[in-house]
Chain A
Amino acid sequence: AQSVAQPEDQVNVAEGNPLTVKCTYSVSGNPYLFWYVQYPNRGLQFLLKYITGDNLVKGSYGFEAEFNKSQTSFHLKKPSALVSDSALYFCACLVEYGNKLVFGAGTILRVKS
């Protein structure tokens, strides 16, 4: 069965510093990987996805993620954090030809000014 792990419940970073939110996955086939962000009492907003091709994927709001097949990881990164980036971030996985997203437990990102 496929699974997604986000090992950190919370990540704290100072505004202007780089941020990383970690994600690892376990699937039996080729994974499709996604990052979503959730603001309080809101739905999930799509940030970026990896399907195939370049391992470095660029997404919305200056975020990017690096797919690493050997480490089965898909960490979310941003070179310079903003206070407005503070939110709950979810990594999710879809097996090729699959239909349902499997989500990690989520990581709270707090950016302090």
Chain B
Amino acid sequence: NAGVMQNPRHLVRRRGQEARLRCSPMKGHSHVYWYRQLPEEGLKFMVYLQKENIIDESGMPKERFSAEFPKEGPSILRIQQVVRGDSAAYFCASSPWDGGRYEQYFGPGTRLTVT
């Protein structure tokens, strides 16, 4: 059973460009979470999605960031007009259903560098 897949693993963007980060959850998992890890910091929750629904986006910046988890295909975290402060590691996690009793399984992360 493959784990959580994320691509690309490394992404370099110039300021003002768009970044698209992809996440394929573990087989059988219908809940996806995105976290951001800034340099020298712990992970911060960004958004929680189920298929075709955003359940909790309380950790998402108000502008430039969006996320989706379509009926078919991976979950996408999209950052428009990137700035240097967006440079971070972005981790996706998945769980079988509501996170309560079930641990979240993390992907290897996408390291975004904005130049």
Contact = CB atoms under 8 A, between A and B. Distances in A.
Interface string B41-62: 1111100100000011011000
B106 interface: yes
Contact of A43 (B42, B45, B56, B108): B108
A27 interface: no
A101 B108 CA distance: 17
Interface stretch (B63-71, B73-81, B96-104): B96-104
A94 B44 contact: no
Contacts of A8: none
B99 A100 contact: yes
Contact of B41 (A44, A94, A96, A105): A105
The binding surface of chain A is classed by DSSP as loop
Contacts of B31: 99
Contact of B100 (A32, A41, A46): A32
Interface in A41-63: 41-46, 49, 51
B25 interface: no
Interface in B1-60: 4, 6, 31, 33, 35, 41-45, 48, 55-56, 58-59
Contact of B33 (A46, A99, A102): A99
Interface residues of B, number: 29
Nearest to B10: A41
B94 to A, nearest CB: 12
Nearest to A42: B108
B4 to A, nearest CB: 8
B101 A51 contact: yes
B106 A97 contact: no
B43 to A, nearest CB: 5
20 contacts: A34-B103, A42-B109, A44-B43, A46-B104, A46-B106, A49-B103, A51-B101, A97-B98, A98-B99, A99-B31, A99-B48, A99-B56, A99-B98, A99-B99, A100-B33, A100-B48, A100-B56, A101-B35, A104-B42, A105-B41
Interface of B: 4, 6, 31, 33, 35, 41-45, 48, 55-56, 58-59, 91, 93, 98-101, 103-109, 111
